[in-house]
Structure formats: structure tokens, C-alpha cells
A and B are shown apart, each in its own frame.
Chain A
Amino acid sequence: MPRLEALTREASELALGIIPLNADEAEVGRVLQICNACRYCEGFCAVFPAMTRRLEFGKADIHYLSNLCHNCGSCLHACQYAPPHEFAVNVPKAMATVRGKTYADYAWPAAMGALYKRNGLTLSLATAAGLALFLLLAVMRQGSLIHAPLAGDFYAVFPHNLMATMFGIVFGFSMLALMIGVARFWRDVTPGMASSDASLSAAVEATDNVLRLKYLGGGHGEGCNNADDAFTLWRKRFHHFTFYGFMLCFASTSVATLYHYLLKLDAPYALTSLPVLLGITGGIGLLIGPAGLLWLNLQRHPAHGDARQKPMDRGFIALLFLISLTGLALMWWRDSGFMALLLAVHLGVVLALFLTLPYGKFAHGFYRGAALLKFAIEKRMPDRLRLESE
């Protein structure tokens, strides 16, 4: 009987255009209903002010709010209804579970999302190792794996055009896939847009929130929670190291590309050149950041987030760390006979990262950015509700 009722309800909801929630989404809906009647956590992050603009939580709201959550843990430790309370409210966990699914559900092509849903660490490392091996084989076939020093001339191992084409295609595809995913998400969660003036200031605000990682500050600037109810700024700091390290490495590659095509300046570049300096600083940031994040991840309070996503998180962190490590090693030993070996390994991990970008943890930055933009836009629209209270 209850089954029949559930089916009837689903059918009528479908007829009304209401998309039924899956169990994880329903849990977010349940938890938000409690939070919306409580609201004590209002000051921690954007999720709560966004929540209070709603009385009910449909699928799109749940996706939006779940991606707005930074999994900072503050609202779990502050929650009067957290387990063992029978309401068992755990906002970060409920939201992390849905969030993880959104990356897969919005993924393009859809089949890839399903493929990358599980076993992050194994998959990432296997991809990296596989690719490195593939490259090693390629090099060995040329008989130059261990070679006479080539004075850092990478192109003696892999011709520049080959590398540019290969990475260009993979990276281009990944970015396209990611953008399509985020665009699908955006279409679902945003029914309307504010005026263009408001949109601009909203975009500025969202960008600022992303670049400063405002919501890992805990609402009071003392940081978020990691191992227990004490606040720490280290998560924010290691994120900064990672993010800006990554951006510097990216800038290094971009500058090198410009040098190559515009200025007709070919690698190897001197230690004091812009691409090398950017690469080294970025690389150091990208060692410190991921190492720190991994350390924090290992200390993390077991009730935070969705434990099943730890392999994905750690896989991504490990890849970033390896990229940086191999990149710096390559820099250091580029004049030695191991250059080709190091280059092959480094390129292998980079390729692995590029391939997994749209289907793993990397996506969180994009989805969260979109959610923050939506929040900034929504904030500028009038609130329909006129709630009276204490």
C-alpha cells in the first residue's frame, strides 16, 4: 500500500512538473526544513541566508544549496540537533553527498560521469601511471630514455607540436566538458537573472568570494572546523597555496606558449626567465597546498562530509602533488641524463589530471563558483517572504 501511494504521488508530481527527489536529495530537503525553522547558523556562510529565501526545497534548490556549501563543518559542531539527537542533522554530510552526485549527474558526456563516479584515488593514480608508462614506452622506442644530457631541450624527446596538440586537445575537451556540465547545472538552478548592473556587481562579489575563499573563514574570520569544534585557518591557507600554485603553474605554461608562438623564443628557458620563475613558485605552492590538504583530510572529523568521497578527494590532491613534484624534479634535473624519463612521468601525470578534470574533485571549484554567483545575484533580488518572528 505505501508503495502504491508513493507511486501515485510520484506520478502526480511528475504530472505537475515536480521532479521527484532521490534519497540523498530528500535528506538535504529534510535537514533544510529543520534549519529553516531554527536558523541559528545564519552567520556562518551563504547557505543559510540563501535558505531563508525559500519555504520549500525542490531538486534545483537542493543542488544549488549543496554546491554553495563549503563543507566547512561549522554548522555541524554548532548544531543542537546533530547526532545523537533524533533529528540527526548533519548539513555538511547531507550536502556533500548530493554535491558529489551533481558532478557525476551533470557530467558531459553522461557516460563519463558514471565512469568516474567511484574509486577516485585508484583511478587517478592508475591513469597517471598508465599514461606515464605509455610515454615511457614511446620514448624507449626511440631509444632515448636514458640519454646524454640534452641541456633541458624537452623537444628533443617530444616534439613541441606533438605535445601542444596532444595537451591542447585533452585540455580543450576537458574544459568544454566541464563548461557544459556547469552550464547544465546553471540552467537548472537559475530561473531568472537580475538586471545587468546587478549582474556585474554580483559577478564581482562572487569572484571576490572565490578568490578570498570567504566562506572557509567560518563567518567570523577564525576559519573552519577540521578535526574538532576548534576553528582553524589552515584549510583556507592550504586551499590558497593549492589554488594560487595551480594558477601560477598555469600562467607559466601560458607564458611559455606565448614565448614560443609570439616571440619565437624556444624552450629551454633560463632559470631567471618568467616561465621558469612562475613555474617554480607555483610548483612550490602546489607542493605545500596539496600536502597540507592531505594532512588535514587525514585528521578530518569523521562526521564531516561524505566519507565515500575521500578517495576522490585524495586522488585529486595526490595528482596535484605529483604534478608539482615531478615538475620541480624535471626542472632540477633537466640538464641530466634522466630528463626524458622525468619529462615522460611529468607529462603523464599532467595528462591524467587534464583527463579527470571534469569528472572529479576539480569540478568543485566551478560548481561552487556558479553557486556563489547565483547567491550574489539572488541577494540583489527582492525577498518575497515577509516572515514575522521573535
Chain B
Amino acid sequence: MIDVLVIGGGNAALCAALMAREAGASVLLLEAAPREWRGGNSPHTRNLRCMHDVPQDVLIEAYPEEEYWQDLLKVTGGLTNEKLARMAIRASATCRDWMRQHGVHFQPPLSGALHVARTNAFFMGGGKALMNAYYRSAEKLGVQVRYNAPVDAIELDDGRFKAVRIGAERIEAKACVLAAGGFESNREWLREAWGMNESGEWPADNFLIRGTRFNMGVLLKFMIEAGADPVGDPGQSHCVAIDARAPLYDGGICTRVDCVSLGIMLNRNAERFYDEGEDFWPKRYAIWGRLVAGQPGQIGYSIIDAKAVGRFMPPVFPGAKADTLPELARLLGLNEDAFVNTVEAFNAACRVGTFDHTALDDCHTDGLTPAKTHWALPLDTPPYYGYTLRPGITFTYLGLKVNEQAAVHFGGVPSANLFVAGEMMAGNVLGKGYTAGVGMAIGTAFGRIAGTQAAAAATGMKKENAHAAA
């Protein structure tokens, strides 16, 4: 019988599998996806938020535990378990050497796009390069990997893990780590979680999924129904505004549209609905998905003029482009009069001071609702550009409750041999909100803990069996 079964094939799963194998356990990893789509959302990531007290290899200055914790507290609004959060934070300071041993490369801070080099370590080549390295290392160490293996049920015996089932196949193991991600690709479940709005629309029907199509939440649902303690709210997720032309799945990072704060954002009625200049990118980034989801038809239009070009990350799809405002409205399918009125009202309200898109500057509107509090420049320089945006779900927050051993709990009692890591338990730390790089930090910390614990549970059992035989 195999010692440790790992379910999932993303970052958390590989961290668990590697640690369990390093601890001497035999390991079988079951990944739902075929090889070419392996890794879930992890291949779309690019960095890891790391605590450090002094400059450390690829990280500059310092990002002490307390600051990290305060950042997390702020974004979650207190929906976090301090003990578990601090464990993840501390682990993020020391995990990079272990990652390097398994072939992961970090990127020295080199370009302007990487000015977050203080808080985040960037994977050279991004998450897919990281996952490739982990898989190579796992195979070299003798971890068995099976692709196209979607687990659909788990056999439990009073909180103890027995076996998994893939259709008619049954696989037993002494211990198990669940690391099968969230439920963001399950459109039915999203629909249910977001419900119907006042206009009778199902907002989630218009959502795009930024990551994998394989995170269906089958095991999450199974476990909750089997009595495992859940944590988090199914309606919570990381939701950003992305180009409406993005593919339904796996659009990844490149479909984001970065120019919102440089212009104005309209809804389907060509009305503004939120302060585009409220704050800097990371914060904005995470709010616009929900804001767009709250608009009729779950659609938004970011409008800029020629002055903005060259000041934001180039978008993957070209925007609609026109020399006059009515023409742009036509191209975007918006009411011309309403569009022109909104832009003119905005232009008239702009109080231009010293424009600086790298600081909270003094360009703002006067007497306009909603106001634009920074970076308010009239849209008056053709050509004008418009980008159509939709809510893009990054991942969901509902998960299973854990303790410091990453054990699954049933009615408050930790399982002896069933553990959970990554997005399936990230909600313990991240009840809502998000700050870049914390998903991988949680997955790496708890993936490693779960792997170690599962190996201990399995080899401990080995000893028990030996006693029994003697």
C-alpha cells in the first residue's frame, strides 16, 4: 500500500509530495488534468510574498513579520487566523532555499515592472517554470505521478482517511493530502454562490475564469458534505476586471487591463460608477472585478485618451480606437449622447494640478459624483481608446478548517491521517481580500506541513503495523 496519496497537481500538492518523499514515504500524486494542463492555477503565478529582516538574495530592504501581518490584517479586514497566518509568514522567510534545491529559480530584480522586489520574490519564467522544476524533482525522487486522474470521492472511517475513488477505481493509502484547489471553474457553483441580482440576472454567468478549468471543487464539496469543518464564504473570491475578450479559462495574467486609473470607467449605460483614482494599482486591481460584477450586464468600459499611452502595461488585445468621442461610443456599442455627456461632464469637472501617475497626485474632480480623486485629466487628446471589461475570477476562498498540522477537522476534531493544503484551506488565513504573492506563500507553507505530517502519519502507522505483526 502506498504511504501518502496527494490529490491535486499544483504548488501545494507538489510541496506536499516532495516533503513526504523526502521524509521517506512512498508517494502517489493524482492530478485531474492531462500532463499539458498540469498544475492548476499555479502555472499562472509569478511571485511569492516573503518576509525578511534584511536584504536577502532577490529581495531588497526588509519586510518584517509585523509589516507582513499588518498587510494581511488590512486586506482581510480581520478575517484571518493569526496563528496560522504567522506560520505562513515565517515559513515564507525560509522556504526559498528548499525551493531552490528542487530546481526553482528566482529572478533578480531587473526592470521597472518589478518594483515590488521588496515584498515579493519572482519566479524566473513564472509559475510554470516553477511547476516544471517541482515535477522534475518529484519524478527524480521517485514520486509516482498520475495525470488524468480526477478523484471524485473519498472513503472515510470516523474521520480517518481510507481510500480515494476515481470512478470505479479505488486507491488505498495510509495517509492523504488534499490539495485540489478551489471551486472557481465550477460555473454552477459560482452561479449558486453569487445568486441572482435585482434585475433577475445571474452575475456569475458573465464571469471569466483566469485560471485552470480543472478546479471544479468536487472534493471540497464532498468533504463538506461528509462533515469536514468548512471555513470561509463561498461568495468570496479574488475577482479582477479583465478584457472581455479573454478566453473563458486560463487567460492568466496578460488579460488584465491596467489603464483604469488613467481614464474613466463606464457601465453599459455610459455612466461612471466608482472613483477610478481612489488608490494605487494593487488595491484597485482587486476591487474592479466586484465593481464590474455589480453593474448591469456585468460589463464595464475603460476609456482613455492618447495621453495615457505609454503609461500603463500594454494590454494583450488592442482597444477600440477612434478620433472622436461619438465614434468611440459607436465602436463600443454605447449610447452616443450619453457617452459624450458623461465625458464632457467629467472633463468639465477636472481640476488639473501636477499630474503624476506614480504618486497620489492633486489632479481631481470637483462637484462630480462619483468623484475621481486622483489622476483626473480631461479626455481631450485623440485618438481615444476603449477597453471592454468583465469580472475575472482568480480563485475562491471557501475551504476546509485546519490546525497547525494542516489536519482536516470533523466537528472540531482533527483527522489523524487526512491533511489539506493550498487553496483548499487558504481561507483559514485569507478570509477575504488579497495581497500579491500570499496564495503561493500559504500553499508552500501548508503544503510542506501537510506533506511532512502525512509522511509521519503513514510511517508511524508502518511502525504500528510492525508491532502488530511482531
On A, residues with C-beta under 8 Å from B are 33-34, 36-44, 49, 52, 55, 74-75, 77-81, 84-87, 219-220, 222, 229-230, 383-390
Contacts and interface: CB of A to CB of B under 8 A. Distances in A.
A42 B111 contact: yes
Among B126, B358, B436, the most chain A Cβ lie within 10 Å of the Cβ of B126
Interface string B276-291: 0000011001000000
20 contacts: A33-B316, A34-B254, A36-B314, A37-B256, A38-B126, A43-B108, A43-B124, A55-B310, A77-B132, A80-B44, A84-B36, A220-B124, A229-B136, A387-B112, A387-B311, A387-B314, A388-B311, A389-B312, A390-B113, A390-B285
Interface of B: 36-37, 43-44, 46, 105, 107-108, 110-114, 116, 122-129, 132, 136, 247, 250, 252-256, 258, 281-282, 285, 309-316, 357-358, 436
Given A43-B110, A78-B132, A390 B316 contact: no
Contact of A80 (B107, B122, B126, B313): B126
A40 B125 contact: yes
Given A52-B113, A78-B125, A37 B132 contact: no
A85 B250 contact: yes
Contacts of A388: 258, 281, 311-313, 357-358
Contacts, number: 122
For the complex of A and B, list the 3 residue pairs with the smallest distance between their C-beta atoms, beginning with the closest: A40-B126, A78-B125, A37-B254
B282 A390 contact: yes
Given A55-B309, A386-B311, A389-B113, A38 B132 contact: no
Given A78-B126, A81-B254, A387 B312 contact: yes
Given A80-B126, A390-B281, A33 B252 contact: no
Contacts of A390: 113, 116, 281-282, 285, 436
A43 B312 CA distance: 21
Contacts of B316: 33-34, 37-38
B111 A49 contact: yes
A54 to B, nearest CB: 9
A384 B250 contact: no
A77 B36 CA distance: 11
A356 B387 CA distance: 51
B49 to A, nearest CB: 12
Contact of B46 (A33, A37, A40): A40
Contacts of A41: 125-126
A202 B371 CA distance: 49
A387 B285 contact: no
B124 A389 contact: no
A80 B124 contact: no
Contacts of B255: 37
A78 B316 CA distance: 18
A42 B110 contact: yes
Given A34-B254, A85-B250, A390-B285, A55 B128 contact: no
A84 to B, nearest CB: 6
A208 B324 CA distance: 51
B254 A38 contact: yes
Nearest to A75: B125
